Amino acid sequence: MRLPPQDTERFYRIWFALLHYINTQLHLVPSFPAAPGEQDVSPEVTMQVRDALWAHDALREQFLAENPAQLPAADLVQATAYACHRETRREAVGRAHSMARICGRLY
């Protein structure tokens, strides 16, 4: 699947904010950038933080609740969908719609 450049930039902006938060909470690596392009990150480091994200659902939920990166509501909904990797498509869509209602928008 190929994303248009605008969607690709949005994905990485959300993804880096989420991984940065996980690393800040767990101190897995010395530093992980909050946004793409701030510093080079090896695939090994990214995988280490990503694996921790999937292993710590409570931290992911905390990120969504606190919104430390001050993401717009639509990006929080998207982050919820990324985070639902283990859920079925129906569950993920229902969860994203629930989050959209919480954030005050339904797309």
Which residues are CB-contacts of 23 (< 8 A; sequence separation ≥ 6)?
Answer: 29, 31, 32, 49, 52
For residue 87, the model assigns a pLDDT of 52
Domain boundaries, the chain: 5-103
Model-level pTM?
0.76
List pLDDT tens digits, range 1-16.
688 999 999 999 999 9
Residues 45, 32 contacting (CB under 8 angstroms): yes
Distance separating alpha carbons of residues 2 and 90, to the nearest angstrom = 23
